[in-house]
Amino acid sequence: MSENADDILLVKNLCNSFQGTPILRDIGFSLRQCEILCLLGPSGSGKTTLLRLIAGLEQEDSGTIAFRGRDIRHIPPHKRNFGMMFQEYALFPHKNVRQNIAFGLEMQHCPPAELLQRVEVMLHLVGLQGLGDRRIDELSGGERQRVALARSLAPEPQLLLLDEPLGSLDRTLRDHLTGEIRSILKKLAVTAIFVTHDQAEAFSVADKVAVLHNGVLQQFDSPEGLYRYPQNQTVAAFLGFTNLVDGSLDEEGFIHCLLGRLPFPGKAKHPWTKITLLLRPEGSKMILPAATTDPAILTVAGIITSRLFQGGSYRVTLQAGGDALTFDLPIDPPPPEVGVRIHLAVNPAAVIVLDQC
């Protein structure tokens, strides 16, 4: 990845192993001031290891970690001025809310008057005003999460590292707090790296998303870019996409598949190369059979094998050309019942050629 003068964090060729087993392989990315990066991937993909390497809590085998243009690999964790927030929060049960938030400021030997002022600012920022004297065991899970966030932010870290900070909360509370966390970080102009295995969480918080799988950085992109253009089958599968269609490339550069004959959008490949296409589920709508004769319309036809009303859409699975394909169709007109053959027009923008990875 090329260097940019606006980059605050630059990771290059980073590798890490444990007892001879590779954990991270040749990781490289950059992050700009005030950006929020989410490290997204399944358990065991290397997300937390990467976070700990950046924090200085683990040692890399090779590669570079630079912050503000300075190699920080040999700087002890406590001298990097990075904040950390963990899933278990690690709050002090013998201290009240205000005392927990003040802990990092005390370690910095912050003057008492300034310390009190900054703690009050943090209490208001995370919506805990009036709860400063509460004991930790008197708080709900969401309130504890806010205390942990305030404690991490109070010392004004150069970089905030969050390791699955919402993992112990229920879905409703997580959905509510992800938006709040992003709003708070943006208000304070904090640069942050956020570890999660939850796609919705990553999309709600991040400016950039790095998808890790088996220690390899599969894709680094904006949330929208990641969803619209997953780079390969590994990323597509992790994002939950299942509509994978096989095709092949002819001598003239066209793809042959169940959608018909499509122009290949990328760099020319050898004729009859095998191609895998992804059809995003929201990119189709029902059409009348007569419209399928129009060569300008990409179409797919099949028998409905499953039909589920989802409120704002119908999730419909078709048996089409030997493939089971699932689509999220508009509620109007409602699709017919199971067993009926339907025709769909597919938006060309919802068809992506995937790398074979």
Separation between Cα atoms, residue 5 and residue 49, nearest integer Å:
27
Sign of CA dihedral 113, 118, 119, 120: positive
1 pLDDT exceeds 50? no
Check whether 314 has a pLDDT greater than 60: yes
Dist. CA 111–CA 108, nearest whole Å? 9
Q: What is the mean pLDDT of the chain?
A: 90
Q: Residue 31: what residue type?
A: L
Per CATH, 7-238 and 244-354 having the same topology is answered: no
Question: Where does residue 74 fall: left (phi above 0), alpha (psi -120 to 50 degrees), or beta otherwise?
Answer: alpha
* Residue 303 in tokens: 């028998």
Q: What is the pLDDT of residue 164?
A: 87
Task: List the structure tokens of 165.
Answer: 């900070």
Q: Are 329 and 286 in contact (CB under 8 A)?
A: yes
pTM of the shown model: 0.87
Alpha-carbon span 28 to 14, nearest angstrom: 7
Could you tell me the sign of the dihedral formed by the alpha carbons of 203, 204, 207, 211, in that order?
negative
Q: How far is CA 178 from the centre of its chain?
A: 12
Name the residue among 231, 174, 214, 182 with its Cα closest to residue 41. Answer: 214
Distance (Å, whole) CA 207 – CA 30: 12
Strands (E), 61-130: 62-67, 70-71, 82-86
Task: List pLDDT tens digits, range 57-75.
Answer: 999 999 999 999 999 999 9
150-171 core/surface letters (b: 16 or more CB in 10 A; e: else): bbbbbbebbbbbbbbbbeebee
Collapsed DSSP state (helix, strand, coil) of residue 185: helix
Q: Give tens-digit pLDDT for 134-162.
A: 999 999 888 988 899 999 999 999 999 99
Instruction: Let me know the angle formed at the C-alpha of 168 by 166 and 170, rounded to the nearest 5 degrees.
Output: 85
The C-alpha atoms of residue 2 and residue 278 are separated, in whole angstroms, by 29
pLDDT level of residue 6 (50, 70, 90 thresholds): confident
**Per-residue pLDDT for 264 more than 50?**
yes
pLDDT band at residue 268 under the 50/70/90 scheme? low
Q: What is the rounded CA–CA span in Å between residue 177 and residue 88?
A: 16
Query: What class is the 244-354 domain?
Result: mainly beta
CA-to-CA separations, 32 to 158, 173, 203, 324, in angstroms, rounded:
12, 29, 18, 42
Where on the phi/psi map is residue 327: left (φ > 0), alpha (ψ -120 to 50), or beta? beta
Closest among 213, 146, 201 to 175, alpha carbons compared: 201
Annotated domain spans of the chain:
7-238, 244-354
CB 65 within 8 A of CB 14: yes
Least Cα distance to 71 among 26, 12, 28, 157 occurs for: 12
Q: So what's the architecture of 7-238 in CATH? A: 3-Layer(aba) Sandwich (3.40)
Q: Give the tens place of pLDDT for each residue, 21-54.
A: 999 999 999 999 999 999 999 999 999 999 999 9
Distance between first and last Cα of the chain: 20
CA pair distance 122, 102, nearest whole angstrom? 10
pLDDT band at 5 (very low <50, low <70, confident <90, very high): low
**Alpha-carbon torsion angle 354, 246, 306, 291, nearest 10:** 100
d(CA 142, CA 133): 17
